[in-house]
Amino acid sequence: MELDLGPDIAEFRADLRAWVAAHAPAGLAELTDWQSIGVTGGYRPEGLAAAMADPRYQEWERELVDARLVCPQWPAEYGGQDMDAVRIAVLNEEFARAGVPRVVRGMGEGFVGPSILVHATPEQKARFLPRIVSGEDVYCQGFSEPGHGSDLASVETRGVVDGDEIVVTGQKVWTSGAARANMMFVLCRTDPDAPKHSGLSYVLIPFTGPEVTYRPIRQMTGAAEFCEDFLDGVRAPLANVIGGLNNGWRVAMTTLGHERGGRATVGHLRFEQEFWALVDTARKYGRHTDPLVRQQLAWAYTQVQLMRYSGVRTLAQVAEGRQPGPEASITKLFWSEYHKRLGEIAMHVVGTAGLVRPDGDGYPTTEWQNVYLASRSGTIYSGTSEIQRNIIAERALGLPR
């Protein structure tokens, strides 16, 4: 069933569908399984890097930039087209339907941009946002530190003002995409004497040069998708401080709380694909007739459909002009806890076959071994399940702090 979003949106959808059909390079959809991109700890689409290096992807990227369909939610003056969340949702649905990728600018689009749009000066917006749209600036996140994860406001990385520059020194950790990034958005302490939430600043620093070193952290999966970073007097202009000195906590919270529902109706797709892959695996191992396995598969399918129904409901609320609040925490808690359980179910389905890894250098794993191991991270990163439950209890239910 499709949500009735009114004639304007129906027209937008039809136009967009025609545009995609006319502009998507032939063969783009077949390059890889684009819809599973961004699954940390999921299904890793095979050959993603090769697909993104393909001329057809590059051509598609140019088409989208020219059509202002990269960061389309941003104002026109910075490269977007002020697209609202409902149209973003339709955009995601239509791209998924056609099997073509959205070109997304990672943390620059999802984290830095929203904070800049809310807190930065017009000059800062004009300087930083277009560079994110074009892909010139690729950001990584400098929030967590070895001693400070959930208690983010206690970060110790120092930011010292020196003339018209700020000098950042400290250690950050759990940085994904460090190798691709040329910029880092960092939360650092600029007033050590202020209460912990009041002495922080949000700074965009260059993530290049001899003052920056990083090294990969090998995870329990055997892969190394995150880094730890050493910032040794990294200099940035004071104009790179967003929201003003010592106002970083508010800016960072904008980043974390930014969820407008644009992905509400496509978030379940990767889990749906994964579910049917597990059904295939169950059949392959002759496990699909086992009553317990059938219960587990039906449970998993139920969870995926609940994500879909809730997504449609969220979109309906956004279309009514309501801003999603603690729903973002509920969504994150739901899928991350689901995915851990799905990994356990998958290993139950494959049974003792899951005890043996494929041969090869390093620590290669099967698809389900990888899901089983990698899904443990989902309930930890971007706010642990415990933090999400605190947010839900305090902000949605009003329980006392």
Partner 1 sequence: MRLAESQEQRELRASVRKFLADKQPLTAVRELMDTPSGYDPAVWRQACGQLGLPAIAIPEEYGGAGFTFVEQAIVLEELGRALYCGPYFASAVLAANALLCCAGEQAKQAHLPDIAAGETIATLALGDEELAAADDAGTWRLTGRRDLVLDGAVAGLVLVATDESLFAVAADAPGMTRIPLATLDQTRRLAAITFTDTPATPVGPAAGLAKALDRAAIALAAEQLGGAQAALDMAVAYAKTREQFNRPIGTFQAIKHQCADLLLEVESTRSAVLYGAWAVTDDSDELPTVAPLTKAYASDTFSHAAAENIQIHGGIGFTWEHDAHLYFKRAHFDQQFLGDPAAHRERLAQRIGI
Active site residues: 259
Q: How far apart are the first and last CA of the chain?
A: 41
CB of 166 to partner 1, least distance (A): 37
Q: Which is nearer to partner 1, 285 or 363 (CB)?
A: 285
SS3 294: helix
Q: Residue 203: phi, psi to the nearest 5? A: -125, 140
Q: Smaller CB distance to partner 1: residue 74 or 338?
A: 338
Judged by CB, which is closer to partner 1: 70, or 293? 293
Residue 9 engages partner 1 in binding (rule: CB under 8 A): no
- Shorter beta-carbon distance to partner 1: residue 73 or 281: 281
Say how far apart CA 261 and CA 179 lie, in whole Å.
29
Q: Output the smallest distance, CB 205 to partner 1, in A.
A: 35
Which residues contact residue 388 at a Cβ distance below 8 angstroms, ignoring those fewer than 6 apart?
A: 329, 330, 332, 333
User: Smallest distance, Å, CB 3 to partner 1?
Assistant: 5
Near partner 1 by CB under 8 A: residue from 10, 76, 224, 399: 399
- The 334-373 site mask, x for binding partner 1 (CB under 8 A), equals x---------------------------------------
Minimum gap (Å) between residue 390 Cβ and partner 1: 6
Return the axis-axis angle of helices 367-374 and 327-350, rounded to nearest 10°: 140
Q: Do 171 and 143 contact (CB within 8 A), yes or no?
A: no
Q: Minimum CB separation from partner 1 for residue 288, in Å?
A: 6
Tell me which stretch binds partner 1 (CB under 8 A): 1-9, 74-82, 105-113, 360-368.
1-9
Q: Is 398 exposed, middle or buried (0-12, 13-18, 19+ CB in 10 A)?
A: exposed
HSE (CB half, 13 Å, CA atoms) of 15? 7
d(CA 240, CA 139): 13
- Tell me the per-residue interface mask from 378 to 397 with partner 1, x by CB under 8 A, - otherwise: --------x-xxx-xxx-xx
How far CA 1 is from CA of 4, 7, 71, 86, 317, in Å, comes to 9, 17, 28, 17, 17
Token readout for 310 is 């809730």
With respect to partner 1, which residue has the nearer C-beta, 127 or 268? Answer: 268
What is the C-alpha to C-alpha distance for residues 167 and 231, in angstroms, rounded to an integer? 9
Q: Looking only at residues 309 through 328 of this chain, which bind partner 1 when binding is defined by CB under 8 A?
A: 309-310, 312-313, 316-317, 319-320, 327
Minimum separation from the CB atom of position 259 to partner 1 (A): 15
Residue 97 or 283: the one with the smaller Cβ distance to partner 1 is: 283
Question: Is 245 or 392 the residue whose CB approaches partner 1 more closely?
Answer: 392
Q: What CA–CA distance (Å, rounded) separates 344 from 326?
A: 28
- Cβ at position 336, least distance to partner 1 in Å: 11
The window from 30-38, 194-202, 329-337, 374-382 that contacts partner 1 (CB under 8 A) reads 329-337
From residue 175, alpha-carbon distances to 2, 88, 140, 205, 368 in Å are 38, 27, 6, 14, 25
How many residues bind partner 1, per CB under 8 A? 42
- Give, as one character, the DSSP assignment of residue 395: I
The answer to the question of residue 117 lying near partner 1 (CB under 8 A) is: no
> What ranges make up the beta strands (E) of 127-270?
139-142, 158-162, 165-176, 183-189, 200-206, 212-217, 226-237, 241-242
Taking the least distance from each CB to partner 1, the nearer of 77 and 386 is 386
Helix or strand holding residue 128 (H, E): helix 122-134
Q: Locate 195 and state its tokens.
A: 């209460």
Question: Site residues for partner 1, window 272-311 (CB under 8 A)?
Answer: 279, 282, 288, 291, 294-295, 297-299, 301-302, 305-306, 309-310
* Shortest distance (Å) from residue 395 CB to partner 1: 10
Name which position in 1, 26, 49, 355 contacts partner 1 (CB under 8 A). Answer: 1
Residue ranges in contact with partner 1 by CB under 8 A = 1-4, 279, 282, 288, 291, 294-295, 297-299, 301-302, 305-306, 309-310, 312-313, 316-317, 319-320, 327, 330, 333-334, 386, 388-390, 392-394, 396-401
